[in-house]
Structure 1
């Protein structure tokens, strides 16, 4: 059971009501945002921040989902993993590649993707080295390296909120699983 109530749209001020609804699944209320909605200002700022990461990181959709899935796997966030499995599939990741990310098996990924996975895991662990940073910059440039680190750190923060509030997968959904195949 969640540690905070899931607020409904009717409980929010009108300008925040759409903040608890998925932008990718119109009409679907997400528990994570409903939990954070207990503080409407924080919800507003978090949605703006995550939106900037989503839209302006410089990563391709596929790369962004690799970073988010890697972060989710690293912190064992079943909720975040579940939310992003379908998004990652839509972004071009195959189920076997998603499974490989869960196992930290990078062999099926391109060189650039392997560098992003290593970098993401280091960001989440707080162990980025000059060599890891330089490798990512070599592949994607400074601006996108900053975006990759920000996506990893942003979804790490979101995962910690999910954990703090014991956010549950939405009613009617079944966990996608750490292994899809």
Structure 2
């Protein structure tokens, strides 16, 4: 295990059990994933699930990454925000969209109608848990039921990840890791 100013150890891939080592190899080697690997029973199947969020879905990858950034921002999770700026940029999210998300301007003209609906949906989901009827209806006007379900998986997963990073006090990496889309 490595030095860690956080609450959880950073698992060393070289000394981890085989199943955990294999799971760690599937995503960029960043402190968050190394800390999550402390849950040796849960981490390998979680990584398999998490990796699906970086594959093609009906929901556009840019919309997914904007939702992830917003979850990080609303959760006051600098770790998730910082890492996912890299990931969002890798799929074509613009600096203007990143800035608007950071500043809470979720209706900015730089967003598509689908992105605005997904951001409002994400905000309601994070802040209120249950998305209000008008926000849900607006999202349903822009996205299929499948895309909304995918968005719920993304938002819920990153709410978990933010809570893990914050409650585990996972230390920032010296530099953000590479985008999993580039892997």
Shorter-chain-normalised TM-score: which range?
Answer: 0.7 to 0.9
1:80 aligned partner: 80
Cα 1:14–1:157, aligned 2, differ >3 Å: closer, same or farther? same
TM-score by length of 2: 0.85
**Per-residue CA distance 1:42-94 (angstroms, 9 max, x = gap):** 11132122223333642111111011011111101110111110111111111
1:178 aligned partner: none
1:152 aligned partner: 155
Q: Does structure 1 residue 45 correspond to structure 2 residue 45?
A: yes
1:179 aligned partner: none
Q: Does structure 1 residue 119 correspond to structure 2 residue 131?
A: no
Instruction: Supply the distance in 2 between the matched residues of 1:44 and 1:22 (Cα, whole angstroms).
Output: 10
Are the equivalent residues in 1 in contact too, given 2:69–2:84 (CA < 8 A)?
yes
**Per-residue CA distance 1:108-145 (angstroms, 9 max, x = gap):** 21221111100001111114112211211221100100
Are the equivalent residues in 2 in contact too, given 1:54–1:64 (CA < 8 A)?
no
Instruction: Supply the distance in 1 between the matched residues of 2:26 and 2:53 (Cα, whole angstroms).
Output: 16
Q: Does structure 1 residue 55 correspond to structure 2 residue 39?
A: no
1:32 aligned partner: 32
1:161 to 157, 160, 164: 164
Runs of 4+ in 1 over 6 A off after TM superposition: none
Instruction: Supply the distance in 2 between the matched residues of 1:60 and 1:81 (Cα, whole angstroms).
Output: 19
2:141 to 135, 138, 143: 138
Instruction: Supply the distance in 2 between the matched residues of 1:68 and 1:58 (Cα, whole angstroms).
Output: 16
**Number of equivalences:** 169
Cα RMSD of the aligned pairs, angstroms, is: 1.7
TM-score by length of 1: 0.86
- For structure 1, which runs of at least 5 residues remain unmatched after alignment? 175-181
